[in-house]
Every structure is written in C-alpha cells, then in structure tokens.
Amino acid sequence: MNLSCTGSPVKDVHGDGRWMSMHARYIEDGKLLKPNVVFIGDSIILQMQDTEAWNHYFKPMHAVNFGIGGDTTENVLWRLENGELDVVNPKVFVILVGTNNYHSTVEEIVDGLETIAWTVYEKRPQSKIVILGLLPRGQKPNKLREKHLEVNLALERVVATIPNTSFLNADPGFVNSRGLITPTDMPDYLHLSRSAYSKLCNLIHNHINKVTNS
C-alpha cells in the first residue's frame, strides 16, 4: 500500500492539537476570505507568507496560505479531503509538498502528488492547478537532492496528463556552479531566506499570470 497517496492526518504526538487546529483555522479562513489563489503545502509554503515577497506578489492577488510545517503528501491530501477544498473556489491552487516524504520512494512521491492534483481537479475543475517541483536541499550534493531531481523529472510528465494542471520547476538556481547551496539562500540548507523567497515568488507569480491569461 502506497501511504503517500492515502490521506492521513498528523499524529498529535506533542499533545497540543496544533496541526488539527491549523487545519480548522484554514477552513474558517477559506469561508471568510474567498481567495483567488490558494497556496497549500509544507513549511516552505507556510513561511512564504511572512516575507516581503508574499506581500508584494500574492497579497494583491487575494491569496491565502494553507501551509503546515512538516506536512507530507498524505497529510496535505487528508486536509484537502476533509474540508479545505470545500470552502474555497479560487482561480489558482499552488501546491508544494514532498520534501518531508523521507519514507517514500520517488514513485510513491510522484503518485502522492498526482493524487493531490486529481483530487483538486475533481472538486474544482474550473481552477488552474500549479504543482511546484521539489527544491534542492543540503549544502553539498547528496542523495535527497538526487531523489528530488528524479521526482521532478517524473512529475513533469505526469502533470502534463492532468487537465488544467501545470508543473513549475520553481528553483531559480539555488545550487551554484560548484554544486553548493549558500546560507544566503538557505540558512539551514532547507528553508529559504527572504532574498531566496523573492526569487522563488517571482517565478511563481509569473507562472500564475501565464496560466490564468492563457
């Protein structure tokens, strides 16, 4: 059984119910705000909303951010299946998740993201869906980077078969010519700096404009 494409909530191991509380808040936000653009994903999506780039590029688009740190494909899928899709009907969904699927193979991550895209399409067939490629991570070349490259290559082919859905390799070039990621872009070699978010958000913004105007 491929857990990556089977919706599953996060276990409340800390006992404070934070994950489920955030999910409930996003449902209320969706009802209240009626967004035109919905971002869904893990901490890389979540932290985007605390940047100048978010305010510059996406606040004018009337966007909301449904990111939760640590989420995997199965966690996002569960959220979509349990209310977050029901309260929004945006022009565009932007989805980035998969870097936390350490337990999954390349094929399983791709299957999980494909399931997410089809779930969104079947519920909101008029919306555009943008699936972002996984970003590189780690200061030096490593197995996870290689895994993410394989995911993205397969994902681009799969996404092309899903109506109203496009793939965006949103990496603006975080890996330099020596194969290194610098702390100015990723201080912990996973999460992005404000300047890195500016580059990432510019690419996403341009792609949203492209798909909504086509």
Domain ranges of the chain: 16-170+179-213
**8-state DSSP, 17:** -
In whole angstroms, what is the distance from residue 93 CA to residue 130 CA? Answer: 6
Is residue 191 flagged as an active site residue?
Answer: yes
pLDDT score recorded for residue 116: 98
Count of alpha carbons within 13 Å of 190, Cβ hemisphere only? 11
CATH of 16-170+179-213, one of 3.40.50.720, 3.90.226.10, 3.40.50.300, 3.40.50.1110: 3.40.50.1110
Query: Looking at the chain, how many residues does it have?
Result: 214
Predicted pLDDT of residue 6? 83
Given the residues 23, 42, 43, 207, the one annotated as active site: 43
Catalytic residue among 86, 191, 193, 205: 191
23 is catalytic: no
Closest CA to 85 of 7, 200, 166: 7
Assess whether 166 carries a catalytic annotation: no
Residue 135 in contact with residue 196, Cβ under 8 Å?
no
Note the pLDDT of residue 1. Answer: 66
For residue 131, the model assigns a pLDDT of: 98
The CA dihedral of 28, 29, 32, 35, to the nearest 10 degrees, is -140
Residue with tokens 């998740």: 97
pLDDT at position 13: 87
- Listed in order, strand segments (DSSP E) in the chain are 37-41, 63-67, 92-96, 128-132, 165-168
| Among the listed residues 24, 122, 41, the one whose alpha carbon sits nearest the alpha carbon of residue 76 | 41
**pLDDT digits (tens), the chain, 214 positions:** 677 888 899 999 889 999 999 999 999 999 999 999 999 999 999 999 999 999 999 999 999 999 999 999 999 999 999 999 999 999 999 999 999 999 999 999 999 999 999 999 999 999 999 999 999 999 999 999 999 999 999 999 999 999 999 999 999 999 999 999 999 999 999 999 999 999 999 999 999 999 998 7
